[in-house]
Each structure stands twice: as C-alpha cells, then as structure tokens.
Structure 1
Amino acid sequence: MLYVILIAAIVVFWLVAVDRPVLKVKFQAGKIIKVKGHFPPKFRHNVEEIADIVPFDGIFKVYQQRTGMKLVFSEAVPKKVQQRIRNVFPHQGFSSKPGSKRA
C-alpha cells in the first residue's frame, strides 16, 4: 500500500514540477541555436527576421493552456523584441501536434 502512495506522489510531483513547453527556442547573437518542439515555418521566418534586425540573446517558450497559448520570455530578451514576437505569433494557427484540429 505504501508503494502505491509513493508512486502516486512521484507522478503528481512530475506533473506539477516538470517544465513542459510546446516549443522552446534559444537565441544567441540573433541566431537560432536550439529548437525543441514544433516551430511553424511562417512564424520561424518572422522570428528570424526580427532577430536579424535586432540581435539578442535569450530563450522563449510557448506553453499550451486551457485558454490558449502563452509565450514566456527570458529576462535577456528586450521588451520591444518580446512585443514584436507577440505581434507575429499565430495564436489561432499554432498547434502542438500537426493535424490536431478541433471542430
């Protein structure tokens, strides 16, 4: 009985504590260094264009929530760049899995 409670506690801890973004993009000097997750081609093109104009270092992550997608930026990303990325973010067309459209 104790092992069931222990396993349940580990599963609950994993669901709450583990960082699970849909998309994680790392930048260094205005270039994309690392991408983890689905990065839509049009959004990628727009973000690369922004990074070419204003080179920056940092990370941004996209989380899926019940109300929609949420963008989270590291402190190294300037506020003006954050706003430009938010402006080009495809809220309606962004999906975590291709083909998971809802009716």
Structure 2
Amino acid sequence: MIYVVIIAAILIFWLVAIDRPTLKVSFKAGHIESCKGHFPAKFKHNVLEIAENQPFDGEFKVYRQRTGHKLSFSKSVPKKVQQRIRNVFPHQGFASKGNKKA
C-alpha cells in the first residue's frame, strides 16, 4: 500500500513542479544560443530580425495551455523586445496535437 502512495506523490510532483515548455529559446548578444522544441520558420525569422535590430541576452519559453499558448520571458529581456516578440507570435503556428470538434 505504501508504494502506491509513493508513486502517487512522485507523479504529482512531476506534473506540478517540473518545467515543461513547448518551446525554449536562449539568446546571447542577439543570436540564438540554444533552441528546444518546435520553432516555426516564420516566427524564427521574425525573432531573429528583432534580435538583430536590438541585441539582447536572455530566454523565452512558450507554454501550451487549454486556452492557447503563453509566452514567458526572462527578466533580462527588455520590455520593448518582449512586446515586439508578442506581436509577431503565431498563435496558429502552435496548433494543439489533439483533434477538436467545432
């Protein structure tokens, strides 16, 4: 019986505490340092253009939620750059994996 409680605690910890973004992109001096996840080509082009015009360090993550997708930025990314990236974010480019009935 105790093993069921331990497995349940590990499962709850995994679902709540572990960071699981759909996309994680790190920047260093306006260039992509690392990229993990699906990065649509047009969005990548736009983000690189923004980074060339205003070089910055930091990272942003995209999380999938029930209502859509959420962008999360590190504190080192300037507010103006954050807003420019939010403006070019393709909400349709990050389609959900399941089939939705209309």
TM-score (norm 1): 0.93
User: Aligned letter for 1:74?
Assistant: S
* Pairwise CA distance, 1:92: 2.1
Question: How far has the Cα of 1:32 moved from its partner?
Answer: 0.2
2:70 maps to what in 1? 70
Q: CA separation in 1, counterparts of 2:96 and 2:49?
A: 23
Instruction: Give the gaps of 5 or more residues in structure 1.
Output: none
1:51-90 equivalences in 2 (<5 Å): 51-90=51-90
- CA RMSD between the two structures: 1.3
The sequence identity of aligned pairs, in percent, is: 70
CA 1:96–1:41 in 2, change beyond 3 Å: closer, same or farther? farther
Equivalent residues of 1:38, 1:96 under 8 A apart: no
Runs of 4+ in 1 over 3 A off after TM superposition: 100-103
Number of residue-to-residue matches in the alignment: 101
Find the aligned partners of 1:96 and 1:67 in 2 and give their Cα distance.
11
Q: Deviations over 1:15-46 (max 9, x none)?
A: 00000000000000000000000000000000
* Closer, same or farther: CA 50–23 of 1 in aligned 2, 3 Å: same
Q: Is the 8 A contact 1:22 1:96 kept in 2?
A: no
Structure 2 counterpart of 1:32 = 32
TM-score for the superposition, normalised by structure 2: 0.93
Alignment partners' CA distance in 2, 1:25 and 1:7: 32
Unaligned runs of 5+ in 2: none
Aligned-partner Cα distance in 2 for 1:101–1:73: 29
**1:3 counterpart SS class:** helix
